[in-house]
Structure 1
Amino acid sequence: MKKYLFFLLLCTGEYTFAQQIAPLTVEKIMRDPKWIGISPTNFRWTADSKTLYFNWNPEKKAKEELFKISPSSTKPIKAIDKEDEKLLSLNYVYNKDNSLGLVEKSGDIYLQNFKTKKEVRLTNTMERESTPVFLTNGNIAYQLGDNIFQLDLKTAETKQITNFVKGKAAGRTPAKSGTEQDSWLKAQQTELFDINKKRNAEARFGGNRGGRGRFGAPSADTKSLKPLYTDDKFLNGVVISPDGHYVTYKLTTPAQNNHNTVVPNYVTSSGYTEDIPGRTKVGENENISHGFVFDTQKDSVYMIQTATIPGIKDIPDFYKEYPKELDTLKKKNTDRPVNFFGPTWNENGTTGIVIATSLDNKDRWILKLDASTGKFSLVDRQQDEAWIGGPGISGFFQGSAGWIDNNRFYYQSEATGYSHLYVANISTGDKKQLTSGKWEVQSAQLSKDKSTFYIKANKEHPGITNFFKINVNGGELSQITTMKGLNDITLSPDEKYIAINYSFMNKPGELYIQQNKVGAKALKVTESTSAEFNSYKWREPDMVTFKNRYGADVYARVYKSENPNANHPAVVFVHGAGYLQNVHFGWSTYFREFMFNNLLADNGYTVIDIDYTGSSGYGRDHRTGIYRHMGGKDLTDQVDGVKFLVEKYGVNPKHVGLYGGSYGGFITLMAMFNESDVFASGAALRSVTDWAHYNHGYTSNILNEPFNDPIAYKRSSPIYFADKLKGNLLMAHGMVDVNVHFQDIVRISQRFIELGKNNWELAVYPVEDHGFIEPSSWTDEYKRIFKLYENTLKK
């Protein structure tokens, strides 16, 4: 009996081990990602820096749980949510000596005294009070509804500073004329009710002529506030200067006459098709904002003057291809519309900096605001005939910028071709570049004492990020982290420790703790991957570079096959998002594709994954190399990558396929149409087929707008090249995709039908959005991709 049990256990153990080392299959790798193990996320320190909290799920439960560690004890402990969540670091606004802090909690304002460790609740209302700040006079200001209020901490007196009023200054908006039915009802009310006769008579003679309001006579010491009318516009960006002298704000006119799309949802609980409201398409009208300054001392309001911005009337270069339109714009000679961010005031409230971007996103200005006049003087201008972008720089938000002291303002710029850190002296006009080189500052944080910048940068290699520090006056960079891979940092409030989310090419992210100093050792805290995941020897792809046809370096990952198929086939994986980096030494967000590439290599394919032109991490020229021609350099980089595989890895040039999703799907279509001699088959997933049908924010930067640059759209959209399809094409798309709409794939399918093409197929996924959720959908999609390659690249 004992022998039988031993034999049974041995067999069971062998079976389990055999299961773990069994060959990769699509079904296996496309399961719920919990099988891999779940990495820790959402790192945050308590305000005293004694505890780090994070979300984790080592036991693969339905929901992740809250864990905590301390720098002195790095063993993760489950936290008690209700108690421990109260200790989490809050985003305090500090006074000058950091002894007091203001914070909003659940719509009320609290004052924290860090010396006495006492907290005082300053507001307790049903409405939300937000954005508290300290003023130079020792009082605080906060926003309630649309308006700014000032609270005197000594007397507890609250004073209203602004009086924003919806509507127009001329009075109430006239009532609509109405229908005959409305007139009849109004006459009936007057006929039936004496109160209406009385009120109508009072209205004809000026109402309450005695001067009393609804609640009696106004108090003698009540001071009226100037009404700031918002008309029919949206009020936003309300900011008070630290001395309380000025309040700046924006009024935004919502875009008119736009057409919002709808996405039909077919598989619903109701049994009826339900429409999901969608986005607008590129080229639709945009919101227009204007900035205003309210002088609280003079009780006056004036509009911020965009005419004083240098280059505000400049016409983008691409109009040279459209002479008639260019001539019309020259005659109009109008200011380009802009977006404002700020102002950001220095500590003593003497100077406000506004960051402005043109709506065409070809200019970014850092401007000194003369709040007494609403005029600007230039601190820095970054101009790009393609579009403004790069790490720490954006047309959609302020970017990485702020005050070091009352005279110096820091910001990031791609002036040298790579995003670097700059400091401008507002008083003297001098500018200083703190970092330099053919690498990028990906984020920057000013230390609490404002003596040091902490930066994340890819100085060593485009695909390796590390944490550095540099003095605000410049000097040498000091490297704090040293692990080869991706190091994402969460700095403790006292700046003594860093939490590191570290990953490597074949190792998902884990939490490490390290002292925030050069030479300190990083200590590993979590171990998240499963035994099943660890049982397979995941490849470390070859990190390679090749020269593209334009002489630029292109970085790539190559997954070698130890047992190449006799046909020596190859597959090109094309990452999505366009401006994204996937050729790095860290764990990829495309983890399913990473595993699929391993599966392909196991089955005799050589796989290459390219950071093509337009990808992030490589500076301005690489970023904007696709301007006005998507499917240009980004596509030829794939072709040049195949040539590299043929020359260096012995790939058969007649047996090459490719696949990718979103932007990768778009490139796959362009490759199958315009490089049909290079690619025998392709799988295009959730693909953009016509850029005129994508969104505005992304597309207009790269291609301008369809009505003003149709040339760019026609040469960049696959639907115009569908007649060139020769190889075998698989397309796959979610039917409730609210990003790249299902309409995209339907329109190009109709083109294929009308063209008489029969070498294509479409797989649809009725319940999937842009990013698939269901493992069954992932499995079905990738089984089709694998079958496509097996049938076209090996035979």
Structure 2
Amino acid sequence: MPRLLFAALAALLALPAAAATPTAGTSTALDLETIMADADWMGQPVESPYWSVDGRSIYYELKRDGSSVRDLYRVDPASGSSVKLDPAAMARADGPAVFDRTHRHAAFVLHDDIFLVDLASGQRRQVTLTTQRESAPQFSADGRALQYRAGNDWYSYDLANGVSAPVAELKFADDPQAKQPDDLGQLQLDLFKTLRAIKADKEALREHTQALEAADAGRAPRPFWLGDKIKAVNSTLSPNGRWLLLVTEARQYKDGKAPVVNHYVTDSGYTEAEDARSYVGRADPAPQSLLLLDLAEHKTYPLETDALPGIKTDPLAALRKQTVAALEQAGKADQAKALKAPEVRPVTVNFRGLVWSDDGANLAVQLRAIDNKDRWIASVDFAQHALVSQQRLTDPAWINWSFNDFGWLKDGRTLWYLSEQSGYSRLYAKPLDGKARALTGAGKFEVSAPQLSEDGHWFYVLANKVAPYSYDVYRVPSAGGELSRLTQYQGVDGFELSPDGRQLAVLHASPYLFDQLAVVDAAGGTAKELTHTMKSAYMAHPWIAPKIVEVPSSHGAGVVHAKYYGPADEAAAPASRPAVIFIHGAGYLQDVTLQATPYFREQMFNNLLVQQGYVVLDMDYRGSAGYGRDWRTAIYRNMGHPELEDLLDGKAWLVKHHGVDPQRVGLYGGSYGGFMTEMALLRAPGEFAAGAAQRPVTDWTSYNHEYTSNILNDPQLDPEAYKTSSPIEYAANLRDPLLMQHGLIDNNVMASDTIRLYQRFIELHKKNFWMSLYPMERHGFVHADSWYDEYRRIDELFDTYVKPMRERAH
């Protein structure tokens, strides 16, 4: 759930076991000034690797120390030699390439322009030089043209004659020449033959122009007049050049009133206001429609969704009936009427939800119901100008925002896709006129990031097959079979196949090492390390290797995976010690892995807490990623409740197995972790000694629509879910010390969330609650001074209220 992440580096994952522990050396005790300093002192993760067009080099980016600038590097995978590119060399660099079907040509985007490479000669040609942002290069099915887009407009570049031309001219207005006369205009035509002659001449000229355009491919295409009621939000061109599909929505659709974020510390010296996103339920996402343009016949066809299975059935009918009855009983007839179910459920199209077969003969579209309960993959019947459902994934809770990859096998007639239909993400294949089959077998693991080899024989995927916390690259035959493990890192973040399909560029990391780049044979084998970008001062510290443990659930959930941080010599530790539970953010995020954590500062703070005599537990509570569909949806309509059960089980485990004093357990976390800190203190008063809630959601009615409506539905339809799940509803229960911290210019979770709860505590005459606000921070803090101040306050909170009296510093 990227909208609730607050860590600055969300792409940090794991290195091999041999490299998992930083080099030991002389080191001083940890201090807050160091661990909350600008992260440049630690080193930089390798970012965005991709292969050169010829497959002889790999490009990657590194953040520049003291700047947000990313420098481009090129490494030779054979020798391991790496070089930073200067501006002149960057101008000659490749971008991530696409290839034609015969691998004679490649194309890529560089500084928003399109480039073409002849692979035999190595000759490079710049196709565009404009102020527009061109993107999405693809080769025509016959290999004679390079197609690309600028906005939602598509162009075709003829490789033989070097001419680039628009494939269609889209006019979002009414055709002025097609306007029919009204009754007064018709009277004029009936009366005056001169007007009739003028009109006939215009029509003859128009027909003549259309005939010339149809006979001469060298002319610019005549416009498609699409009306002024819609706008295009996405588009895709068939490789054969025949069809253009537009995703449209109403031009005047209102997003709902946006809350305001005020900037108090500004260049101007004046308070400056900024609109943020609207609240959940104040305006559903704009319903989208599909419009198919036949470029050869110059005709348009709407692709209706009415025939998709289940689209006319309301999955929330029972809840809707209950809520409507309650509103009517309360005399709120207008609100009840507004909850009437639509005859056809509105849908949206994923931005990457349009995929053509290589030959352009088939198109697949992925649609999602706005109520979040259904995902459809449909093919397009071009003869009938209709959608044909190929796969429906339905969920009584909500469809995952992950595991929605799909595409075509090389035959161009068989779809492949990821689906959680078994309870875990699996890879499937389905012929257009046949039944689906699973390609990756059964088991309690998840498959993601599928890449089909160029020869079509293999799928390469990420999977946590060995254990939920261990991720490696696997491959499986495209016809299905056993997954073969290709890497042994246990913490792979991503990979890219080389152009010839023989090698994999692999990003991998470990708990204290950020993403590094290696290369491995596509059939598996010994990996070759290509980068090491960490700093010696960071690597020299003997960091605590987190121990992955299984906490038994007392509520029938099996086990909860967690990371435990404790002293090297447990036997020498006090029999009764304090503990802290760190609660990761995002809700749907996995922090218990052998990868690097996005919470690298929090991980260093956990080390500091152990140094001060605490033990620390970091749990993948229910709702977290990596454990399948049921773990994900356990929080549906009930946020903060299963998770709290898991946190209490974690506390009990610490007490039983690590001598923790049950009266001295603290909590902290940001975003969703801040929300859970508040839920723990307010729903289980007396269980925890103190808590620090960073940028927390305190009232889900104030959060965004995209995330919240998945889990709690709309607040108008499901008010009880919001009441059950919002900390502000339990404010009267506060009895344990609570520190709330928030960036004032947070435009994700507004600072008003914390301020409103603070006011509620004031009105309830509560004690021992505090609020610290950070005028120049958004949801993810970026300034070292703010990080330091935030954690100084947390450290003092725990020192005062969590440590036993005899261990307190003051």
TM-score range, shorter chain: 0.7 to 0.9
Q: CA RMSD in A?
A: 3.3
1:693 pairs with 690, 693, 702, which one?
702
CA contact under 8 A between 2:403 and 2:420: conserved in structure 1?
no
Distance 2:25 2:786 in 1: 24
Query: In the alignment, is residue 436 of structure 1 matched against residue 442 of structure 2?
Result: yes
| SS of 1:783 mapped into structure 2 | helix
2:730 pairs with 695, 709, 721, which one?
721
Structure 1's 565 and 762: CA in aligned 2 closer, same or farther, altered over 3 A? farther
Of 303-312 and 45-54, the range deviating more from structure 2: 45-54
Quote how far apart the aligned CAs of 1:209 are.
Answer: 7.8
Of 327-336 and 497-506, the range deviating more from structure 2: 327-336
CA contact under 8 A between 1:631 and 1:716: conserved in structure 2?
yes
What do residues 365-404 of structure 1 show as CA deviations (whole Å, max 9, x unaligned)?
Answer: 11122123332222111101111116422xxxxx343333
Quote how far apart the aligned CAs of 1:75 are.
Answer: 3.6
What do residues 546-600 of structure 1 show as CA deviations (whole Å, max 9, x unaligned)?
Answer: 2212232210011113464564111110000111111111221101110111111
2:640 pairs with 631, 651, 654, which one?
631
| SS of 1:720 mapped into structure 2 | helix
1:657 pairs with 663, 666, 688, which one?
666
Q: 1:360 maps to what in 2?
A: 371
Of 402-411 and 730-739, the range deviating more from structure 2: 402-411
Q: 2:120 maps to what in 1?
A: 115
Distance 1:248 1:509 in 2: 38
What do residues 129-187 of structure 1 show as CA deviations (whole Å, max 9, x unaligned)?
Answer: 654444445543544665545555556777765342122347799xxxxxxxxxxxxxx
CA contact under 8 A between 1:511 and 1:526: conserved in structure 2?
yes
CA contact under 8 A between 2:440 and 2:482: conserved in structure 1?
no
Of 20-29 and 505-514, the range deviating more from structure 2: 505-514
CA contact under 8 A between 2:439 and 2:479: conserved in structure 1?
no
Structure 1's 120 and 211: CA in aligned 2 closer, same or farther, altered over 3 A? farther
| SS of 2:577 mapped into structure 1 | coil
1:590 pairs with 560, 578, 599, which one?
599
Distance 1:159 1:69 in 2: 37
Query: In the alignment, is residue 618 of structure 1 matched against residue 609 of structure 2?
Result: no
CA contact under 8 A between 1:44 and 1:88: conserved in structure 2?
no
Q: 2:190 maps to what in 1?
A: none
Distance 1:250 1:65 in 2: 36
Structure 1's 692 and 534: CA in aligned 2 closer, same or farther, altered over 3 A? same
Q: 1:221 maps to what in 2?
A: 212
CA contact under 8 A between 2:224 and 2:298: conserved in structure 1?
no
Distance 2:91 2:498 in 1: 17
Amino acid at match of 1:405: D
| SS of 1:73 mapped into structure 2 | coil
CA contact under 8 A between 1:425 and 1:431: conserved in structure 2?
no
Q: 1:552 maps to what in 2?
A: 558
Amino acid at match of 2:681: M
Q: 1:13 maps to what in 2?
A: none
Distance 1:764 1:158 in 2: 54
Q: 2:359 maps to what in 1?
A: 348
Query: In the alignment, is residue 402 of structure 1 matched against residue 393 of structure 2?
Result: no
Quote how far apart the aligned CAs of 1:437 are.
Answer: 1.4
**How many residue pairs align between the two structures?**
742
Amino acid at match of 1:442: S
| SS of 2:795 mapped into structure 1 | helix
Quote how far apart the aligned CAs of 1:510 are.
Answer: 3.0
Distance 2:122 2:196 in 1: 58
- Structure 1: stretches of 5+ with no match in the other structure: 1-17, 174-203, 394-398
Query: In the alignment, is residue 770 of structure 1 matched against residue 779 of structure 2?
Result: yes
Q: 1:310 maps to what in 2?
A: 309
CA contact under 8 A between 2:420 and 2:426: conserved in structure 1?
yes
Q: 1:683 maps to what in 2?
A: 692
CA contact under 8 A between 1:390 and 1:620: conserved in structure 2?
no
Where do residues 75-114 of structure 1 align in structure 2 (5 Å cutoff)?
Answer: 75-84=81-90, 86-92=92-98, 94-105=99-110, 109-114=114-119
Query: In the alignment, is residue 242 of structure 1 matched against residue 242 of structure 2?
Result: no
Of 668-677 and 477-486, the range deviating more from structure 2: 477-486
Distance 1:59 1:306 in 2: 51
Quote how far apart the aligned CAs of 1:296 are.
Answer: 3.6
1:375 pairs with 386, 394, 408, which one?
386
State which structure, 1 or 2, has the greater radius of gyration over its C-alpha atoms: 1
Q: 1:253 maps to what in 2?
A: 250
Distance 2:533 2:616 in 1: 27
| TM-score normalised by length of structure 1 | 0.86
| SS of 1:585 mapped into structure 2 | coil
Distance 1:58 1:240 in 2: 38
Where do residues 266-277 of structure 1 align in structure 2 (5 Å cutoff)?
Answer: 266-277=264-275
Amino acid at match of 2:463: A
Distance 1:432 1:166 in 2: 43
CA contact under 8 A between 1:400 and 1:412: conserved in structure 2?
yes
Query: In the alignment, is residue 577 of structure 1 matched against residue 586 of structure 2?
Result: yes
Query: In the alignment, is residue 27 of structure 1 matched against residue 33 of structure 2?
Result: yes
2:398 pairs with 355, 375, 387, which one?
387
Quote how far apart the aligned CAs of 1:431 are.
Answer: 3.1
Amino acid at match of 1:610: M
Amino acid at match of 1:301: T
Quote how far apart the aligned CAs of 1:102 are.
Answer: 4.2
Distance 2:68 2:276 in 1: 31
Distance 2:246 2:206 in 1: 34
Q: 1:15 maps to what in 2?
A: none
Amino acid at match of 2:267: S
| SS of 2:306 mapped into structure 1 | helix
| SS of 1:789 mapped into structure 2 | helix
Of 570-579 and 342-351, the range deviating more from structure 2: 342-351
| SS of 1:307 mapped into structure 2 | coil
Distance 1:543 1:468 in 2: 23
Q: 2:332 maps to what in 1?
A: none
Distance 1:135 1:658 in 2: 57
Amino acid at match of 2:243: Y
Greater relative contact order (Cα < 8 A, sep 6+): 2
Structure 1's 230 and 766: CA in aligned 2 closer, same or farther, altered over 3 A? same
CA contact under 8 A between 1:680 and 1:727: conserved in structure 2?
yes
Structure 1's 77 and 100: CA in aligned 2 closer, same or farther, altered over 3 A? closer
| TM-score normalised by length of structure 2 | 0.85
Structure 1's 513 and 780: CA in aligned 2 closer, same or farther, altered over 3 A? same
Structure 1's 638 and 779: CA in aligned 2 closer, same or farther, altered over 3 A? same
Structure 1's 463 and 71: CA in aligned 2 closer, same or farther, altered over 3 A? same
1:667 pairs with 676, 700, 719, which one?
676
Distance 1:586 1:364 in 2: 30
Quote how far apart the aligned CAs of 1:101 are.
Answer: 3.3
Where do residues 557-572 of structure 1 align in structure 2 (5 Å cutoff)?
Answer: 557-561=563-567, 562=569, 564=573, 567-572=576-581
Quote how far apart the aligned CAs of 1:33 are.
Answer: 1.4
Amino acid at match of 1:759: N
| SS of 2:495 mapped into structure 1 | strand
Q: 1:495 maps to what in 2?
A: 501
| SS of 1:714 mapped into structure 2 | helix
Where do residues 743-762 of structure 1 align in structure 2 (5 Å cutoff)?
Answer: 743-762=752-771
Quote how far apart the aligned CAs of 1:248 are.
Answer: 1.8
Distance 1:486 1:135 in 2: 34
Amino acid at match of 1:278: A
CA contact under 8 A between 1:20 and 1:532: conserved in structure 2?
no
Distance 1:532 1:104 in 2: 38
Quote how far apart the aligned CAs of 1:430 are.
Answer: 4.4
Structure 1's 149 and 533: CA in aligned 2 closer, same or farther, altered over 3 A? closer
Distance 1:555 1:216 in 2: 71
Distance 1:600 1:144 in 2: 52
Query: In the alignment, is residue 449 of structure 1 matched against residue 465 of structure 2?
Result: no
Distance 2:530 2:109 in 1: 32
Q: 1:198 maps to what in 2?
A: none
Distance 1:786 1:125 in 2: 54
Of 323-332 and 689-698, the range deviating more from structure 2: 323-332
